[in-house]
Amino acid sequence: MSLHKTITTGSRITRAMSITDALAGAFLTEKAVLDFDQYGTHEFDRPGVDTVDGGGTSDPHRDAQVIAAVVEALSDHVGGRRMATQIAELARALSAPDWGQGDRISITPCGWEWSDEEGCFVAGVSRDGSTWVWRDRNRNMHERKGDVCAISYTGTASMVAAKRRNYLAWCGALLDLWAVLSRPGMLDTIEITGALPALAPWREADAKP
């Protein structure tokens, strides 16, 4: 988490934080939780669990509860509850969505099985292939199903594109949260700065030699 600049406004001391730092402070540090209370009856009643000597719990700071409430209220056009859950999980992990960095197309067996002969796991096979028919030296007819190894592809262009769409949707949702949480008086001790995650980090990565 980045360093925060302390700002004194009258008798109130606030900290300047980016939207991602504010989310991490709420969900990781203060342990705020998403409630998705349909009727809003517990909008600011979200106890966080914080084990202390002898056990017990403590409520998150009011700012953390406000941030959680705003995240819960994400509209459907920026992802709704599914995006809200992703935002909270990523904030707790101090992370951002995987946009396919380092992905390379590869082929992977769909299953593995132990080989006593090799002394290790090998790609699993099944006799579901084409039927082979032949005659032996005595002109006797034989047939056998060919061995097949089921495979899957990873790192394809469509898979990377899906990850990048999700990353862009996350950025859009953060911008929506920023627009709400940066309003004057919305938070007591935090001032949301204009710092936002890179919109398309893959462009910078693609530009590197």
Closest by Cα among 15, 70, 73, 1 to 193: 15
DSSP string, the chain: ----EEEEETTEEEEEE-HHHHHHIIIIIS-------TT-TTTT--PBP---TT---BPPPHHHHHHHHHHHT--GGGTHHHHHHHHHHHHHTT------TT---EEEES-EEEETTTTEEEE--BS-SPEEEEE-TT--EEEEEPPB--EEEES-HHHHHHHHHHHHHHHHHHHHHHHHHTSTTS-SSEEE-S----S-HHHHHHH--
Provide the token pair at 188. Answer: 């007591």
Is 174's pLDDT higher than 50? yes
Amino acid in position 111? G
CA angle 16, 92, 172 (to 5 degrees): 65
Identity at 173, one-letter amino acid code: A
pLDDT at 115 over 80: no
Which pLDDT score, from 0 to 100, does residue 207 have? Answer: 59
Q: Which of 96-100, 111-115, 135-139 has the lowest mean pLDDT?
A: 111-115
| pLDDT bracket for residue 78 (50, 70, 90) | very high
Which tokens sit at 159? 């898979």
Which of 6-15, 45-54, 123-132 is the least confident region? 45-54
pTM above 0.85, yes or no: no
- pLDDT-derived band at 156 (thresholds 50, 70, 90) equals confident
Tokens at 5, concatenated = 């600049």
Residue found by looking up tokens 């007819």 in the block: 141
Residue among 67, 58, 55, 66 at smallest CA distance from 19: 67
Q: How do residues 10-43 score in pLDDT, each as one tens digit?
A: 456 789 999 999 999 999 999 999 988 654 434 4
What pLDDT digit, counting tens, does each position of 185-208 carry?
999 999 999 999 999 998 876 656
The mean pLDDT of 75-104, rounded to a whole number, is 92
Q: How confident is the model at residue 113 (pLDDT cuts 50, 70, 90)?
A: confident
CA distance 87 to 80: 11
All structural domains of the chain with their residue ranges: 5-101+157-207, 106-154
Residue 106: pLDDT band (50, 70, 90) is confident
**Which amino acid, residue 42?**
H
